[in-house]
Every structure is written in C-alpha cells, then in structure tokens.
Structure 1
Amino acid sequence: MCGRLSQYSGIHDFVAALSMPNAMVNSVGELPLERYNVAPTTQVAVLHVQGELLLADPVRWGWRPHWATDRAAPINARVEKVAHGPFFRAIWPHRAITPINNWFEWVDEGGQKKQPYLIRRRDGAPIYCAAIGQLPNANEGPGEHDGFVIITADSGGGMVDIHDRRPVVLNPELAREWLDPATPKERAEQMVLHQGEPAEVFEWYKVDTAVGNVRNKGETLITQIGGVS
C-alpha cells in the first residue's frame, strides 16, 4: 500500500453501513469529510470502541513505540507479523477501523511519472480497513503520542499488477467484531489473516498524476481517465 487515500463521505455515512447500536461520540464533525488526497502524518478519521461507546476521532496516520526513535513512524503494519512482533505489541490490543472511500497506488508504466490508480469497492460501499493504534480516550481526549497504522496483506488476483500489498478490508459484520473489545486477540488475528475481502471485491482505474502532489485536494483527483479493471 503506497500510502494515500480518500475519505470524503460523512462519518455518519460510514457508520450507517456498520449497523452498530452503540451511542457515538463524534469528534470528527457532522459534514462530509471531503478529503480526496489524504497523506500519511495527517489526521484521519478512525472508529474505535471504548466501553459501550463508538468513538469517531481524528488520529494521526503513523505510529511508533517510544523506544523506536531511530526511524520514521510506520503508516502500515504487515498482517503476517503485527500480532507477535515487538514493534506493535503495545497497540495490538487497541483495534480500530479506518473507513475510507478509496486508496491510491502508483505503477511504473514507462512514462515520465508513475501512473496513479484509484482502488475502490465495485459496489461503491465504504471500505473498512483494519487498523490498530494508540487512540484517544473518551474521558481524557487526544494524547500527544496518539497514532494508528493500517494492517496490510499480500494482494491477490489482478490487483497484484497494481501493488503487491493492500489494506486488510473487513466486511461490516467482521468490522463490528474487530471493533468489539470482547473479541479475543487470537480471533482478531485470524480475522485479518484469513477473512479480509478478496481482490474480486475491488475495481481500479487510472487517475490524473496531480494526485501525486499532496497539495492538490479537489474532487477531480478521483475522476477516471482510463478503463476500469
């Protein structure tokens, strides 16, 4: 996963498809998010559960443990290692969903610039990316070291031609289970290892190279310029 996504629906639109009965504490706002070119290190809307509450909070995309000062904060975590490696041990129990509309990957097709592709669900539904993080506390508010990473897995099918890694995407039922603090860590690991949405659920198409500049923000960045795969 190259590290760029879109999050332009309103948080209530993302939550509606989850069908969660929890009362929501919304720190993201009521309006559509309208972010078409979201880059790492910026604040991204994430969903997480504390007690009986569903929390929607802006959280920095990227996290590292306090002892890892010799490297940049990763934005993704490989599903093969995330549950047992020392780097993410502290946040593995703190599960979240990053709800997005699409993400982008760049492919070298021999031009002067790599060609960006937009990847989305074929049915147009929200994409629920499995994530973990150091997350805001409902009683204390945001913390200085808050951050999150998206869990990634090997791509499959034709998506391999776009990138060899992709987010682990959960259907709404599994996303609810992932968010539930009562879900055992062992069960959570099996979900992200084996039950992510298959490549066939997604489609992808070329978009303008303007998306490569994080200063470009408009809706035209998600406009198709080639055929859909």
Structure 2
Amino acid sequence: MCGRYALGVRLSYIRHQLQQQGLQVDEAPDDDAVRETYNFAPGTYGAVYRADTPDQGGVGYTDNADSSPAGDGNEVAPPPPHGTQASEQEHGQQQQKYKLQSMKWGLVPFWTKRNPDYRSLMRTINCRDDSLIENTGMWTSMKKKKRCVVVCQGFYEWLKKGPGGKEKIPHFVRRKDGNLMFFAGLWDCVNYEGSDEKLYTYAVITTDSNPYLKFLHDRMPVILDAGSAAMAMWLDPHRTTWSKELQSILKPYEGELECYPVSKDVGKVGNNSPNFIIPVNSKENKKNIANFFASSGKGKLTAKKGAEVAGVGKAAGDETVKHEADEKRDTANVEMTEDNAPMPLPKEENQPSKLKREHSPEDDIKPSKTLKIGPSHSSPERKVSRSPSKAGKFRSATSNVSAAKGGAAKKLGRGNQPITKFFK
C-alpha cells in the first residue's frame, strides 16, 4: 500500500490547484511529462512537488546539520519554507523556490550503477514509516534531504472477500472535500554508468491505517494537507537532520475521507476510464464524469469545466473502458504484505512462470507469506516457502517483517551494503 492511484488531470490543472491552495510553484514541466490516467501504476511518470534544490537535496546552511544525532532537536531553526523577507535578511538566502517535477514511481538510490531488476523496483514504490526511525538502511540520505509530496486525486485499495480472500473488490479513497490528495514521499536522482541521462524517481511513505480505513487494509499512505505546518516542515530543504518532529508527521490521516467500491476494470494495468473514480453504483457512473466534478467541487466547478479539467472533453459520456496503447505490461495478482493491488509485470516478461523473487538483502528477512499468481493466468499456483522471522533487529523498509539473527544481520550490514546487492 499504496500500489495504484488516480491522476486523471493535466499538470497545468495541478499547478493551478496548488497555487489556489497557497502553495508556491515556480517551475513545472509541460502537461505531457506526466502520465494522465485514472489508473496510475508503478513504473510510470507521476507529478511530484518539492523544494527546488540540487540533485543531492537539501540546502545545507544549518550548523553541523549532519553531525547531530537524529531526533535530538538541535538543528538550527529554518526560515519559513517560502522564503519570506525576514528569513532572507536573517540568513542571507534568496527566496526558496518550489517546483512540480515529473518522476518515475519506484525509487532508485543515487549510488546505483546499473538499471535494477524490474521486480526490485516494485519493492521500492513504498517506504514504511517505521523503517525511517533509525539512521540505517537505504532511505537514510533521502529522508534527510530528499523529501517530497506525491500529487494524486486519490488511491485504490482492494478489499479481500470470500473464502480465503480470493475475491478482491477495488475501492477508491479520496478527500471528502474533493481536493487533490498529497502523499508524503521521498525522491532521488541517479545517473547510471555509461549514461548521460539523469533519472528522477520517488517512493510513497505508508503508515498504519486510520479507523475509517481499517476495514479495507491495515496500511495507508501518509496524507498531508496543503498549506499545513506539517507539509511546510516536510518540504523544508533547510531541515537536513532527521528529527522527532519529522518522524511525527508520518501518522494516519486525521481528516475526512470518502471510500467506496469502483469498477473491477481498474485492476488491469493500462485500462483507463474516468468512471474508475466514481462509485460503481452511482448515477454519475451511469452518466458521465462531468457530474462527478460538479458535485465534488461544491459548486465551484461547472459540469462542463469539470470535464475539461479532467481532460475528457466530448468523450465525457463515453463509458467504454479504454486500454492505453503504450501500456503493454501484463497484470498479476501477487499477494504482498503492503498492498492487494494487482501489480504490473515487465513488458518483456508477461508469462506468470517468470514472476519470481530476486535476491536482495531483504531476502534474508524471511516473511511467512505466500506468493500467488492470480486466476487471470493459466499457470498453476506457486508458493514460496519462507520461514518465520524473529522480531527485534532490523525492519524492512517496505514490509512489516523483521530480520533474522546471525548471518542475516551481517549480510544486511546495517544498511551499508552496496545497492548492487540490494537489486541483485
């Protein structure tokens, strides 16, 4: 969790909405730099909002920022995140700029030498909040200097029903006020050996579910409110020491959300329809997306404007689910500890027999889970036998399991292993 979300709006609309909510946007790419789809899957380019800083992140003006222990609260008080006149005079800084940026979902650390295996990337689409408590592991540098927010309309989660939880009912979760949703995230920039191109990637941070969503899943993304003190602190590039204050931001959402079942067609990667974010049994679903935007905007958006904003125009009344031509990946039902979403397979590996777990230091953490290939594929069910783990040592960054003792701890090396081993 989170394994799929909706981003069926243009980047220009996102920029306008951010500015309307008091967020500074000094730079943004063209609309076509971000995938505009109501069925946004890992491995594609999404909209990320962050401070405009160097590729290594942070501003670095604080005194001994990296030398003080994490959580001691001794970092120098930063100026307001939008660079007010007072802060500029006090610190001699130019006004801090913020930008929207197109990044690929599935974080690749900056020290990576070669393009990692596809399934390894699927394990870095999320980062658990409790994996950031200690200053160890692959997230250490990102949590200090490379924090961001991921922009979307809402996210999907699949409710398991029936004997053995084999039936999965997709649900859409959005803000009750209809505004855009912002996930706390981490980003990084990598330049592979032999390549002149930079690749920017991101991960969504997850935490325990709030009481409203407990029935659906025990995990949820960390959601931040636009213009809140928490978002300002999270995006502040002057905070280059991980602190208790930053850790406290990563908590279940306390605002009002809406959750309802939606079309099962959203389960197939590449399927796209504005009806995916509308309740499956609603009148709007039977008519068109314009009605949905008119009602969710509390009168501020007309039906016509809502359709234009959504990018559906005259096709608003077309209920046909369309498969995006450039999305050729197959979809597999894989039981994971963090998400129930059907996951995309790499383009070159659409056969279920090739979906296997690659070795990484986290393989030494033995979760007692079963990996299954869903009924949409013809191959028989395969099970990966894993011994139970013992709690107390290290926690996986992406799953709620603990490290084994002895040799496993040595292999982990407290987060100092080369990323080549992580993605091997």
TM-score range, shorter-chain basis?
A: 0.7 to 0.9
2:271 alignment partner AA = N
Give the gaps of 5 or more residues in structure 1. 137-141
Deviation at 1:123, TM superposition (A): 1.4
Deviation at 1:101, TM superposition (A): 0.7
Following the alignment from structure 2 to structure 1, what is the Cα–Cα distance between the partners of residues 46 and 33? 15
Deviation at 1:144, TM superposition (A): 3.4
Q: How does 1:194-213 map to 2 (within 5 A)?
A: 194=251, 197-198=253-254, 201-213=256-268
Asked whether 1:50 is paired with 2:82, we answer no
2:126 alignment partner AA = N
Q: For 2:276, which of 212, 221, 224 is the aligned residue?
A: 221
Deviation at 1:32, TM superposition (A): 10
Deviation at 1:146, TM superposition (A): 2.1
In proportion to residue count, which structure has more helix?
A: 2
User: Alignment partner of 2:224: what SS?
Assistant: coil
Q: For 1:95, which of 119, 143, 147 is the aligned residue?
A: 147
> Greater CA deviation, 118-127 or 36-45?
118-127
Q: Is the 8 A contact 2:2 2:206 kept in 1?
A: no
- Summarize the Cα distance change of 1:146–1:34 in structure 2 as closer, same or farther, 3 Å threshold: closer
Q: How does 1:114-125 map to 2 (within 5 A)?
A: 114-125=168-179
Deviation at 1:2, TM superposition (A): 4.2
Q: Deviations over 1:105-148 (max 9, x none)?
A: 01112287410000011111221110011159xxxxx9534211
Q: Using CA pairs under 8 Å that are at least 6 residues apart, name the structure with larger relative contact order, 1 or 2.
A: 1
Q: CA RMSD in A?
A: 2.8
Q: Deviations over 1:148-183 (max 9, x none)?
A: 101100102130111111110111212233112123
Asked whether 1:149 is paired with 2:152, we answer no
How many aligned positions are there? 218
Following the alignment from structure 1 to structure 2, what is the Cα–Cα distance between the partners of residues 43 and 85? 28
Q: For 1:38, which of 40, 45, 51 is the aligned residue?
A: 40
2:219 alignment partner AA = R
Q: For 2:242, which of 178, 182, 185 is the aligned residue?
A: 185
Q: Which residue of 1 aligns with 2:15?
A: 12
Percent identical pairs in the alignment equals 25
Q: Is the 8 A contact 1:28 1:57 kept in 2?
A: no
Q: Is the 8 A contact 2:2 2:126 kept in 1?
A: no
Following the alignment from structure 1 to structure 2, what is the Cα–Cα distance between the partners of residues 190 and 204? 25
User: Alignment partner of 1:60: what SS?
Assistant: strand
2:147 alignment partner AA = R
> Greater CA deviation, 90-99 or 80-89?
80-89
2:212 alignment partner AA = G
TM-score normalised to the size of structure 1? 0.83
In proportion to residue count, which structure has more strand?
A: 1
Deviation at 1:14, TM superposition (A): 3.8
> Greater CA deviation, 168-177 or 203-212?
168-177
Q: Which residue of 2 aligns with 1:132?
A: 186
Asked whether 1:81 is paired with 2:145, we answer no
1:75 alignment partner AA = I
Following the alignment from structure 1 to structure 2, what is the Cα–Cα distance between the partners of residues 17 and 33? 22
TM-score normalised to the size of structure 2? 0.47
Give the gaps of 5 or more residues in structure 2. 54-95, 191-195, 283-424
Deviation at 1:78, TM superposition (A): 0.4
> Greater CA deviation, 108-117 or 45-54?
108-117
Whichever of the two has the greater Rg, that structure is 2
